[in-house]
Amino acid sequence: MDTKRLNETSKFLSYVLRHEPQAIGLQLDCEGWASIESLIAGAARDGRALDIALIRAVVSSSDKKRFSLSDDGLSIRAVQGHSTASVNLQHVEKEPPEFLYHGTATRFLQSIRQQGLIPGARHHVHLSQEIATAIAVGQRYGKPVLLKIEARRMHQQGFTFFHAENGVWLTAQVPTPFIREGEPDNL
């Protein structure tokens, strides 16, 4: 399957399964599941030819394991990253490691220093256990900056953390006292 088609389809699936299911008249349940049959029909009305083989190829080739299929193979969902109000995914609550990382862009720093990390349009702030992943995430918005989050200390103070099935850590917000800034070497 060619990479360009896989990437385009992955972006389209992210769009409808995380953000705008109504754009193709798709219903998601509160756990984010959509019927694959309805997804294919909705996409077709939008002039986009999807089929089950292409969808399965996107699911299995996703570098970040963005999507999962139901056990019966009839439904698909995005495992995290939602902004649509129709979904309220019950992620697994878990004690985080001592530190987690968040990559952002320099242009957001001033605001983050004032407000801490806030979820923006998504339902959670996204954190990573790996520095390289966090830097790549920050790079999408400009010159990347790495933030080191004192996750264990937050947890001890009552903040809740969730671990999505693809390894991304989620929390509602990160107040400024738990954020360290700097280069990877001297954080």
Residue 163 contacts ligand HQG per CB under 6 A: no
CB of 39 to ligand HQG, least distance (A): 18
Count of residues that bind ligand HQG according to CB under 6 A? 19
- E strand map for the chain: 34-35, 67-69, 75-78, 92-93, 100-105, 125-127, 144-149, 161-163, 169-171, 179-182
Subset of residues 80 to 99 that bind ligand HQG, contact rule: CB under 6 A:
81
The C-alpha atoms of residue 154 and residue 174 are separated, in whole angstroms, by 8
Check binding of 115 to ligand HQG (CB under 6 A).
yes
Q: Which residues sit opposite 93 in a β-bridge?
A: 162
Angle at 82 between CA 70 and CA 91, to 5 degrees: 60
What is the length of the chain? 187
For ligand HQG, the closer of residues 66 and 77 by Cβ is: 66
Q: Is 175 in the site for ligand HQG (CB under 6 A)?
A: no
| The residue to which tokens 């991304």 are assigned | 168
The contact mask relative to ligand HQG for 119-158 (x = CB under 6 A, - = no) is -xxx---x----------x---x-----------------
Half-sphere exposure of 176 (CA within 13 A, CB side): 8
Under the criterion CB under 6 A, does residue 15 sit at the interface with ligand HQG? no
Q: Which residues of this chain interact with ligand HQG, rule CB under 6 A?
A: 14, 64, 66, 81, 104-105, 108, 111-112, 115, 117-118, 120-122, 126, 137, 141, 168
